[in-house]
Amino acid sequence: MIEDKSQERTPLSDLGEFALIDHLTKSLKIKHKSTIKGIGDDAAVIECKTKQIVITTDLLVEGVHFDLSYMPLKHLGYKAVIVNLSDVYAMNATATQITVSIAVSNRFPLEALEELYAGIETAANIYNVDVVGGDTTSSTSGLLISVTAIGEVNKEDVVYRNGAKPNDLLVVTGDLGAAYLGLQVLEREKEVFKVNPKNQPDLDQYSYIIERQLKPEARKDIVKLLKELEVKPTAMIDISDGLSSEIMHLCKQSKLGCDLYENKIPLDPQVISTCEEFKIDSTTIALNGGEDYELLMTIAQEDYPKIKANPNLTVIGYMTEENSGMHLVTRAETKIPITAQGWNALNDQE
Amino acid sequence: MIEDKSQERTPLSDLGEFALIDHLTKSLKIKHKSTIKGIGDDAAVIECKTKQIVITTDLLVEGVHFDLSYMPLKHLGYKAVIVNLSDVYAMNATATQITVSIAVSNRFPLEALEELYAGIETAANIYNVDVVGGDTTSSTSGLLISVTAIGEVNKEDVVYRNGAKPNDLLVVTGDLGAAYLGLQVLEREKEVFKVNPKNQPDLDQYSYIIERQLKPEARKDIVKLLKELEVKPTAMIDISDGLSSEIMHLCKQSKLGCDLYENKIPLDPQVISTCEEFKIDSTTIALNGGEDYELLMTIAQEDYPKIKANPNLTVIGYMTEENSGMHLVTRAETKIPITAQGWNALNDQE
């Protein structure tokens, strides 16, 4: 939250558009043989190793999706890549390439874009994807990042949202609600900082939930794990808008209902303790928080033995017939309908 | 330039994000068999009919790339698609799919986005591409459109920027400078309109150059024509930043020089007459105007007989050794070095 005012500031206008792109992308390395041509032509050229490719895109907008007063630019670059890779993994595919477009106002110096690109490059290296193209332009206000991710997948391995069957198990990876709660802590500290800029917050007890907000990871490991376990989910989606919203997508597209068990929803101890501190219900946070970038999938009952011992996968319910509806079975064993109160970027602007 | 204040205005917040995307994309039809899955899952799934695909992306930002005071939203949607398809054709590829992401402030009602999407859909239909994904989110100010285009191409047909050889002919499609000049007319009329809003401009004599600015086309036909003529260019690029900037890209990447003949540069009569009216040099406009979305290519001398009678293709010069440099041979037969004064989105913000 504290800016180093002494850092160098090179105006973007000192470089031309082409020189800027060259400068920012010069350290990027091509890692995939299937990337025939990366940055530097009218378009990138990619060889199709598998018969099918997947493609997905997401926009991150300053003031809507991120707040630079607590989001370091390097983390932002990293996160912009992750949120797209998460969608690729949700198709049970391997991410291979990304394009990155940035619109940036002149209030950002070159050094800020270097930070942003350092985060993009770090994510590309860790997740083994090539940055093959993009566009860098000015904006009249603020920063906007548009990433498109490409992945490869064998035809028989693609997992859609609409393949779930009645009695399939509803399975989630990792734990939920932490990223949203991390955001609440950061928002609170920002308000404190406004009142007393000299106050240095002690955020140790929130380290996990803040990291989940500022530096989320995508579940590349799960695609690999599922292959090793020889489990192909019947349906899959990534959790970006909150568990309840994603469950509703799976149910609607598969034309099913579901029973979700409150006491099965995986929560980190830091989520539970912070919810207590904030006096909010942890189930509400897990259901509606969003930005978890975990995977939600449905798995056939016969595959249960293959997944039951795995610490990465938690069974949280099962699918039912459509006319049974979508329900949360509470700890008190009452059934309440699931409704989407997920994060909505458009309403947030009200 | 005159807004119909009586039109309906439905706030975007009346719809949720998912309902909005559903509403805007419901009339889109999938035309390609290779589009296995379009909008509606975590990612689109595309079958690779050819061994290689090309991918390209461009951002259009309000206040930088377009001015809504004279750019109708439908035209803007159309243009946002065209500028990306142009890059696909510059690889000698066939465009097949696009994704469209939009960031929009709440000052835009639903009806405005419907107009924008109508333009996107029209372009997708005319150019035979499927809209397979995207993202719609709010922005804190203004409108931003990010399009990614995907194309297919046989490995042996791809044309890069770096394949030109000495003595290759420098060939351009269509005519140049019109789009930039159209923008100058629109900017002038905007100033007139500010002073006297009741003035109805008569723009008939500028119809061609204004259309080139507001509703450019991409040269899909040229990719087809080159196949029919059995000509594979040795290098190709689309003209988005101005002829001189694109020539410099071809020369630098092919490690060559060139001689460009001023008297060969194709100009529309309306460009010539408007340049006279504005008292500006038409060659300067053709060299540096930008937004032509024509194709610039180099062709082996032996292919000249195949192209010489074609009205779509104009030979404007030839490639030389690198140490000869890049020159414009003027009408007075003097040689002057080519420099890039092309449109630069980042400097424009100064």
Confidence of residue B7 (pLDDT cuts 50, 70, 90): low
What's the confidence (pLDDT) of residue A4?
Answer: 52
Residue A99 sits at the chain B interface (C-beta within 8 Å): yes
Return phi, psi of residue B110, to 5°.
-50, -40
Give the residue-averaged pLDDT of A244-259: 97
Q: Which regions of chain B does DSSP assign to beta strands (E)?
A: 35-37, 44-47, 52-61, 94-104, 130-138, 143-153, 169-173, 235-239, 256-261, 294-299, 313-321, 326-329, 335-337
**Where do you find CATH 3.90.650.10 in chain B?**
169-349
Q: For domain A169-345, give the CATH number.
A: 3.90.650.10
What's the confidence (pLDDT) of residue B350?
Answer: 29
Give the residue-averaged pLDDT of B1-5: 48
Closest CA to B62 of B21, B104, B92: B104
Above 50 in pLDDT, residue A350? no
Give the residue-averaged pLDDT of B35-56: 93
Classify strands A130-138 and A143-153 as parallel, antiparallel or unpaired: unpaired
Residue A58 sits at the chain B interface (C-beta within 8 Å): yes
B161-179 pLDDT, tens digit each: 999 999 999 999 999 999 9
Above 60 in pLDDT, residue A24? yes
Give the residue-averaged pLDDT of A194-214: 89
B261-282 pLDDT, tens digit each: 999 999 999 999 999 999 999 9
Structurally, at CATH architecture level, domain B169-349 sits in: Alpha-Beta Complex (3.90)
What's the confidence (pLDDT) of residue A347?
Answer: 38
Structurally, at CATH architecture level, domain B12-157 sits in: 2-Layer Sandwich (3.30)
Q: Which CATH number fits domain A15-157: 3.40.50.300, 3.30.1330.10, 3.30.200.20, 1.20.1730.10?
A: 3.30.1330.10
Confidence of residue A217 (pLDDT cuts 50, 70, 90): very high
pLDDT, averaged across chain A: 92
| Coil, strand or helix at B9 | coil
B155 strand-pairing partners:
none
For residue A350, give the nearest of B13, B136, B139 by CB distance: B13
For the ranges A78-92, A229-243, B5-19, which has the lowest average pLDDT?
B5-19
**Where do you find CATH 3.90.650.10 in chain A?**
169-345
Give the residue-averaged pLDDT of A195-201: 82
Positive or negative: CA dihedral B268, B272, B277, B280: positive
What's the confidence (pLDDT) of residue B342?
Answer: 44
| H helix or E strand, kind and range, residue A47 | strand A44-47
Give the residue-averaged pLDDT of A218-232: 98
In sequence order, the 6+-apart residues with CB closer than 8 A to the CB of B223 are B89, B92, B93, B94
What's the confidence (pLDDT) of residue A20?
Answer: 85
Q: What is the DSSP letter of A11?
A: B
For the ranges A197-211, A218-232, B31-45, which has the lowest average pLDDT?
A197-211
What's the confidence (pLDDT) of residue B1?
Answer: 45
State the ipTM, two decimals: 0.90
Task: Please tell me the distance from the alpha carbon of residue A194 to that of residue A337, in angstroms, as a whole number.
Answer: 41
Closest-CA residue of A relative to B138 is A346
Closest-CA residue of A relative to B63 is A140
Residue A47 sits at the chain B interface (C-beta within 8 Å): yes
Above 90 in pLDDT, residue B201? no
| % of chain B exceeding 70 in pLDDT | 95
- Shortest distance, CA A331 to any CA of chain B (angstroms): 30
Sheet holding A52-61, edge to edge: A130-138, A94-104, A143-153, A52-61, B44-47, B35-37
Residue type for B257, please? G
What's this model's pTM, rounded to 2 decimal places? Answer: 0.92
Contact between A142 and B140 using a beta-carbon 8 Å cutoff: yes
Task: Please tell me the distance from the alpha carbon of residue A185 to that of residue A225, in angstroms, as a whole number.
Answer: 33
**Where do you find CATH 3.30.1330.10 in chain B?**
12-157
Give the residue-averaged pLDDT of A7-24: 81
| H helix or E strand, kind and range, residue B159 | none
Above 80 in pLDDT, residue A174? yes
Positive or negative: CA dihedral A14, A16, A19, A23: positive
Above 70 in pLDDT, residue B40? yes
Give the residue-averaged pLDDT of B139-149: 93
Residue type for A161, please? R
Task: Please tell me the distance from the alpha carbon of residue B179 to that of residue B209, in angstroms, as a whole number.
Answer: 6
Please count the residue pairs, one from chain A and one from chain B, whose beta carbons lie less than 8 angstroms apart: 251
A143 strand-pairing partners:
A104
Contact between B237 and A56 using a beta-carbon 8 Å cutoff: no
Residue A346 sits at the chain B interface (C-beta within 8 Å): yes
Buried-exposed string A30-63: b where 16+ CB fall within 10 A, e elsewhere:
eebebbbbbbbbbbbbbbbebebbbbbbbbbbbb
